[in-house]
Amino acid sequence: MARPREFDEATVLEAAIQCFWDKGFEGSSMRDLADRMQMTGASIYNAFGDKKALFRKALDHYVDHGFDDRVRRLEGLPPRQALSVFFYEIIERSLADPACKGCMVINSTIDVAPHDPQMQEAVGEILGRMERYFGDTVRAGQADGSISKRQSPEDMARLLLGLLAGIRALARARPERDLLEGMVRPVLSLLDDPAIDERAD
């Protein structure tokens, strides 16, 4: 009979996330991770596998308790409002981080994914989920008339994904409200006023 795990998975994954955030993937040794997670190296290997497997598990946990939680909270809002709330929440989250750690997914896109095909695939899958959320939300707003049809849902989804990445990356160096809100306003304005389309026709 297998022995039950003697740790709380969510707690140790949060500790791993903090280590990877502070030191990066390459800079985080198994000793660093073991110290943060308060586990032995052998226990980490037995529970999660090698460092790459642990990073992937930590990244999935981060997304589930960040992006996915936000999406679930916004499900009851009208599509146009949901997108606005989403991005202004991202700004608040970025400004509330005194260490300017940024987003683990976007950091991984820059620091880890280009150097490892497996990690590129893993990060790409997460970015794909984000893009699909934006596309589905734009599509729903176009269907109910609250979002303009000037742009295709696919193009708007890509633009919104780029906006998300840009906010999270730029906020690490310039965590300035005026700057970040100035990025969001013109992009969200592309969603607005379907009546303009009708008059232009």
In a domain, 200, yes or no: no
Residues 142 and 175 grouped into a single domain: yes
Predicted confidence (pLDDT) per residue in 42-70, tens digit: 999 999 999 999 999 999 999 999 999 99
Nearest to 183 by CA among 200, 199, 160: 160
Q: Do 123 and 63 meet the contact criterion of CB atoms below 8 Å apart?
A: no
Q: Look at residue 18 and tell me whether its pLDDT is greater than 50.
A: yes
Residues 46 and 110 in one domain: no
In a domain, 49, yes or no: yes
17 assigned to some structural domain: yes
Same domain, 46 and 81: no
Q: What is the mean pLDDT of the chain?
A: 91
Q: Which of 125, 190, 120, 129 is nearest to 159 (CA)?
A: 190
Q: Residue 102: phi, psi to the nearest 5?
A: 80, -165
Phi/psi class of residue 100: alpha, beta or left (left: φ > 0; alpha: ψ in -120 to 50)?
Answer: left
Asked if 42 and 79 sit in the same domain, the reply is no
Enclosing domain of residue 85: 66-192
Lowest mean pLDDT among 6-10, 20-24, 170-174: 6-10
Domain count, the chain: 2
Q: Are residues 18 and 74 in the same domain?
A: no
Instruction: State the Cα–Cα distance between residues 13 and 64, nearest whole angstrom.
Output: 12
Domain shared by 99 and 175, yes or no = yes
Which CATH number characterizes residue 101's domain? 1.10.357.10
Q: pLDDT tens, 150-183?
A: 999 999 999 999 999 999 999 999 999 999 999 9
Give yes or no: residues 73 and 43 share one domain: no
